Amino acid sequence: FRGGPSPLLEAINRSIGTDFRLWPHDVRLSTQWARALADAGVLGHDEARLIGEGLVRVGDRLAAGEAPTAADEDIHTMIDRLLHEEIGSPVAAKLHTGRSRNDQVATATRLWTLDAVERVDAAVRQLQQVLVAQAERLQDAIMPAYTHLQRAQPVSVAHWLLSHVWPLVRDRGRLADAARRLAECPLGAGAIAGTAFGVDRTALAASLGFAAPTPNSIDTVGDRDFVAEVLFALSLLGAHLSRLAEDLILFGSSEFGFVRFGDGFSTGSSMMPQKRNPDALELARGSAARFLGDLVSLMGTLKGLPSGYNKDLQDDKRALFGAVDAMLVVLPAVAGTVDELTFDVRRTEAACTSAMMATDLADYLVRRGATFRESHAAVGSLVRQAEEAGIELDALPPSAIRAAHPLFGDDAAAALGARASLAHREAVGGTGPEAVRAQLAQARAAIGG
Ligand code: ARG
CB 18 within 8 Å of CB 321: yes
Residue-level pLDDT at 268: 86
Three-state DSSP string of 147-161: ECCEEEEEEEHHHHH
Question: Phi and psi for 254 in degrees, rounded to 5?
Answer: -60, -30
pLDDT tens profile 39-62:
999 999 999 999 999 999 999 999
Query: From atom 2 of ligand 1, which residue's Cα is the shortest distance away?
Result: 314
Which three-class secondary structure state does DSSP give residue 142? Answer: strand
Question: Could you tell me which of 156, 160, 152 has the C-alpha nearest to residue 358?
Answer: 152
Question: Phi and psi for 154 in degrees, rounded to 5?
Answer: -75, 145
Half-sphere exposure of 432 (CA within 13 A, CB side): 11
Residue-level pLDDT at 196: 95
Query: From atom 4 of ligand 1, which residue's Cα is the shortest distance away?
Result: 314
Does residue 313 line the site of ligand 1, with CB under 6 A?
Answer: yes
Torsion of CA 368, 373, 375, 377, to 10 degrees: -160
What gap in Å lies between CA 140 and CA 36, rounded to an integer? Answer: 62
pLDDT tens profile 15-37:
999 999 999 999 999 999 999 99
Residue-level pLDDT at 275: 84
Whether residue 367 has pLDDT greater than 70:
yes
User: Higher confidence at residue 273 or residue 285?
Assistant: 285
CB 301 within 8 Å of CB 312: yes
Bridge partner residues of 259 (DSSP) = 343
CB 97 within 8 Å of CB 127: no
Catalytic residues: 148, 269
Helix, strand and coil content of the chain, in percent to the nearest 5, comes to 65, 5, 30
Single-letter amino acid code for the residue at 201:
R
What gap in Å lies between CA 60 and CA 437, rounded to an integer? Answer: 52
CA–centroid distance, residue 102 to ligand 1 (Å): 6
User: Which letter does DSSP use for residue 277 in this model?
Assistant: B
Single-letter amino acid code for the residue at 100:
S
Burial of 160 (0-12, 13-18, 19+ CB in 10 A): buried
Which of 208-212, 326-330, 406-410 comes out lowest in average pLDDT? 406-410
Whether residue 234 has pLDDT greater than 90:
yes
What gap in Å lies between CA 96 and CA 416, rounded to an integer? Answer: 77
Query: From atom 12 of ligand 1, which residue's Cα is the shortest distance away?
Result: 314
Residue-level pLDDT at 449: 64
Q: Which atom of ligand 1 is nearest to the CA of 309?
A: 10
CA–centroid distance, residue 310 to ligand 1 (Å): 8
pLDDT band at 385 (very low <50, low <70, confident <90, very high): very high
CB 86 within 8 Å of CB 92: yes
What gap in Å lies between CA 205 and CA 209, rounded to an integer? Answer: 6
Four-residue CA torsion sign, 106, 107, 111, 117: positive
Residue-level pLDDT at 264: 93
Does residue 314 line the site of ligand 1, with CB under 6 A?
Answer: yes
pLDDT tens profile 139-174:
999 999 999 999 999 999 999 999 999 999 999 999
What percent of the chain has a predicted confidence (pLDDT) above 90? 96
Burial of 194 (0-12, 13-18, 19+ CB in 10 A): middle
Residue-level pLDDT at 272: 85
Q: What is the mean pLDDT of residues 404-410?
A: 94
Residue-level pLDDT at 169: 98
Task: Count other Cβ atoms within 10 Å, centred on residue 384.
Answer: 10
Phi-psi region of 156 (alpha: psi -120 to 50; beta: other; left: phi over 0): beta
Q: Which atom of ligand 1 is nearest to the CA of 75?
A: 1
Q: What is the mean pLDDT of residues 266-284?
A: 90
Q: Which atom of ligand 1 is nearest to the CA of 73?
A: 1
CB 113 within 8 Å of CB 227: yes
Q: What is the mean pLDDT of residues 229-238?
A: 98
Whether residue 269 has pLDDT greater than 90:
no
Whether residue 318 has pLDDT greater than 80:
yes
Bridge partner residues of 185 (DSSP) = 213
pLDDT band at 229 (very low <50, low <70, confident <90, very high): very high
**What is the pLDDT of the chain when averaged over all its residues?**
97
CB 160 within 8 Å of CB 256: no
Q: How far is CA 320 from CA 43, 117, 118, 186, 301, in A?
A: 35, 11, 14, 18, 13
